[in-house]
A and B are shown apart, each in its own frame.
Chain A
Amino acid sequence: MTKIGLEIHCQLTKLESKLFCSCKANYREFEANHNICPVCMGLPGSLPRLNQKAVESATSIALALTCDTPEKIAFFRKNYFYPDLPKNFQITQLNVYGDMSVGGEGYVSVEDKKIKIRRIQLEEDPGRIIYEGASERTKITLVDYNRAGTPLVEIVTDPDFESPRQVRVFLNILSDLLENLGVAEPGLEGAMRADGNVSIEGGNKVEIKNIGSFHDLEKALHFEITRQQSLFERDIEIAQETRHWDDRRKITVSSRSKEEDQDYRYFLENDIPWVTIDQSTRDRLKENMPESISSKKERYIQKFDIAPQVADIIASDRYYSKLFENAYSDHNAKDIANLITTDVIGFIDTKEKQQNSKITSRHLSDLVDAINSKTITRNSAKVALQEIMKSGKDTKEVLDEMDLGQVSDSSEIDTIISQIFEEEKQAVIDAKERPETVNFLVGKVMQKTKGKADPVKTLELIKSKLNQ
């Protein structure tokens, strides 16, 4: 049986400052090495000052993943030399001497399977190394320390996954959850990273590192499983090792470095006293926690009779669920949900588009009301949506400006139908012989009215004219 475990790193980008200093947690907007200070540069004599908000965010994550959270947490030094690490040690957490990290023993349900969360720890992100020219034999290595000290949460799972597909579903659930909590933006480049470990029946565990995206992780896991299976079939022992994902060749490569033998000489970081997270703090964090995705989904289904797939899509995304929550009233909730999943999502499918869109909950309410009162057709609503996203103008104004009001006046539609019957004589004959082809004529009417004719009424009128 294949067993896969994950180690996920997620930056707490919603925080104002870094984990141990007042430099910005959002380092992305800065020129290289312009978001640094003596503390995050580890200058001699500087001391870390713990960002208490980071402890709270990490604890919220632990609570949301149903983890046990200890009363007191501590930080440790992980000692190793690397150019991206200003102090040549990383301040992180460790549970070897008892449970001292922000959380442990939680789980996430993935398609009726519980994936166990072994532990969650709070730590600092290192800087970024840039190999200039990016060739293998490049002479220059640049380091940008803007990222150094960014608050990072490491989430470690048990090897509970049976397939790369399950991993993908889990990561989607997890990243939705982190975003919904309001502590992270997993969509940001490099904000959420995952390493995996794989073993097959009877084989040793192999860790895979250096994976750039979730998409690559899935590929790397597939490759690794296949590699291990083929070794197994040929009776070759699967070595316990760390392998690197080679993005160019799309294979995993044994890392010759002795990374797995590295001794990090962990010991307590005494510059940061133990942090007490008392019951009242935990209660407050729980109270202020946004409703979970699963409970939101359940509520949408139960209360508004929304289809489970639709409820799932809306509940999982902070942007859509916010649009929905503010737009719905009991009588049109279902229609608004459907409008979001059939039309809005088609137009606003990236974070960037979400940010730029000027659409508001009010627009959605107004559009659904207009459809329901037959003022406009669904087609016209779609046209209007595009304009609203761009301009943010009032719905009524857009409908008027674009002349999208529905034509439901029978005589007007009748006149147009007569014209069509003149122009499409063959189609009229066909429709008389084979009634299922009548939609062609309806389509022609819609074309002529630019989608404004009431489709139900149009069909009625065509049918009666055919029968004349």
Chain B
Amino acid sequence: MNLNTSILKYIEDVKSGTFTVEEFAAETLQRIKDVDSDVHAYLSLNDSALNDAKLIDQKISSGDKIGQCYGFPISIKDNICITGTKTTCASKILENFIAPYTATVINRLQDEDAVITGKTNLDEFAMGLTTEFSAFGPTKNPWNLDYVPGGSSGGSAASVAANECLASLGSDTGGSVRNPASFCSVVGLKPTYGLISRYGLISYANSIEQIGPMTKTVKDSAFLLNIIAGQDANDDTTINNDNVNYLENIEDGIEGKKIGIIKEMTTSEGLSSEVSIATKDAIGDFESLGASCEEVTLPTIPYTVAAYYTITSTEAGSNLARYDNIRYGYELESEGYEYNSYISKSRAKFGPEVTRRIILGGFVPSAGHAGKYFLKALKVKSKLISEINKAFEKFDYLISPTAPVQPFKFGEKIDDPVTLMLLDYNTVTANLTGKPAISVPYRVINGLPIGMQIMANSLNEKSLFQSAYALESKTNLPEVPL
């Protein structure tokens, strides 16, 4: 049985009786057993996965109504809540937190008969770009175990790349879906802000983050978005997408489309030569597909990373304030402490990156400093939005490499927070502007993947998938060597 298959192919095979849901699930669980001690994509497994698969087989054989997913195995980033299961955010502070409710995206997947394999690793509270900030140890890149898988949804990306599931849900605050997708050679989508309900996603920077599908193919990404997108009464920020079918006309191509090559993202100092060459190839491919490419400049981009960290730290400082270990959390004897000393003691469990951002978040919006930092960052955000809206008047898509570099070795950049932050240079624009962006696996050079990023205007996911599918069809990538 080939575990390296797409969701759509899997569904065909289950329908035609090539294998049962249970057989595929059992094989997937075996694969997890075989490789995850090396990869460490998962933080916890769903004990009832096999049983869930069996029940779906029974539904199929008894001719009951069956959901669109036909029991394909999907992993979930461990910052999305599922009733009765641990949701740790890869943090010691939530080590024993068992969610008493289920996220909307999970309900929608389960209603359509998806089988959840388990919860995947991440940088603590989704703050990081390598999973090295997970309190439970890093995830390895399946392409080369000495290398980082990207982050923060590194566990999700690795689980898909290592065939430990067919797809995963990650979350993207500044590139946390697209960056690991690029590093692990999977498709990662950050949809328009508000397209997917965040109910049940543990907030880091709630004004800009979205849940996003991570899949082996562009079509699978569109398939998953069909299931999880749309308005939700539990999230006031969700928008009506009129039940668009993202798979429909996905093969229509991009003949005659206009593509803007973002100058700031393709000529930046940090860009590696491999990534630069790959980008030029991608531009050639887009042109050969009938699109016209032209350089475009968004002058505010050099300020976006600073603005991004200012805004996200402010929101993180507030969103993470609730972890005072009073209503839930971990065992901590309160005897001998008064309120202030107790919460400072309990909050000492946060890891270094989270602590850094909480401290920043206490400073940049504070009285006397807000004008210099937080309010200025909001100005950058609104300036960037008007620049990108102007660009989309002319262009259908804006492209760049997803990350300026290829995956790097563990420990290489972890002690240099500022260099790490620059990895976000190409991805934060989509978050700050709320626009959809997708990372498409494009090259594997020296055994390490490179992804290309395509951005489209708000709610133009359908068109975005058409371009991503077209680019994907130009690639011929090797199988993961694991």
Where the two chains meet, the residues of A that have a C-beta atom closer than 8 Å to any C-beta of B are: 38, 41-50, 77, 79, 81, 83, 86-89, 141, 143, 145, 263, 265-268, 270-273
Contact = CB atoms under 8 A, between A and B. Distances in A.
A285 B314 CA distance: 37
Given A44-B89, A81-B340, A271-B237, 11 more contacts: A43-B328, A44-B87, A45-B101, A45-B201, A45-B202, A46-B199, A89-B318, A263-B367, A270-B315, A271-B203, A271-B235
Contact of A44 (B233, B322, B324): B322
Contacts of A81: 321, 324, 340, 343
Contacts of A47: 198-199, 234-237
A44 B318 contact: no
Contacts of B80: 45
B270 interface: no
A68 B157 CA distance: 52
Contacts of B202: 44-45
A267 B374 contact: yes
Nearest to B339: A83
B97 A38 contact: no
Interface of B: 79-81, 87, 89, 94, 97, 99-101, 103, 198-203, 206-207, 233-237, 314-315, 317-318, 321-324, 326-328, 339-340, 343, 362, 365-367, 370, 374
A266 to B, nearest CB: 8
A88 B321 contact: yes
A126 B373 CA distance: 30
A267 B314 contact: yes
A265 B101 contact: no
A88 B322 contact: yes
B326 A83 contact: yes
B366 A265 contact: yes
A273 B343 contact: no
Contacts of B322: 42, 44, 86-88
Contacts of A88: 321-322, 324
B342 to A, nearest CB: 9
Contacts of A44: 81, 87, 89, 94, 97, 99, 202-203, 322-323
B237 A273 contact: yes
Given A79-B317, A270-B207, A271-B237, A38 B100 contact: yes
A46 B94 CA distance: 15
A216 to B, nearest CB: 26
A43 B236 CA distance: 17
Contacts of A273: 236-237
A43 B198 CA distance: 14
A265 B200 contact: no
17 contacts: A45-B79, A45-B200, A45-B201, A46-B199, A46-B200, A49-B233, A81-B343, A83-B339, A263-B366, A265-B362, A265-B370, A268-B207, A270-B207, A270-B315, A271-B236, A273-B236, A273-B237
A50 B323 CA distance: 23
Contact of A265 (B207, B236, B314): B314
Nearest to A141: B339
Nearest to A271: B206
Nearest to A145: B327
Contacts of A46: 101, 199-200
Nearest to B335: A139
Nearest to A49: B236
A45 B199 contact: yes
A353 B448 CA distance: 80
Given A265-B365, A270-B237, A45 B99 contact: yes
A41 B327 contact: yes
Nearest to B344: A81
B81 A45 contact: yes
A148 to B, nearest CB: 11
A145 B328 CA distance: 14
A89 B314 CA distance: 13
A44 to B, nearest CB: 4
B309 to A, nearest CB: 15
Given A38-B101, A45-B80, A272-B236, A87 B321 contact: yes
Nearest to A79: B318
A268 B366 CA distance: 14
Nearest to B99: A45
Across the A-B interface, the 4 shortest Cβ-Cβ residue pairs: A270-B207, A88-B321, A44-B202, A45-B81
A132 to B, nearest CB: 14
Contacts of A263: 366-367
Contacts of B103: 45
Q: Among B101, B198, B318, which residue has the most Cβ atoms of chain A within 10 A?
A: B318
Nearest to A270: B207
Contacts of B323: 44
A68 B318 CA distance: 31
A49 B321 contact: no
Contacts of A268: 207
Given A46-B199, A270-B237, A265 B99 contact: no
A270 B381 CA distance: 14
A142 to B, nearest CB: 12
Contacts of B203: 44-45, 271
Given A44-B202, A45-B81, A77-B318, A267 B97 contact: no
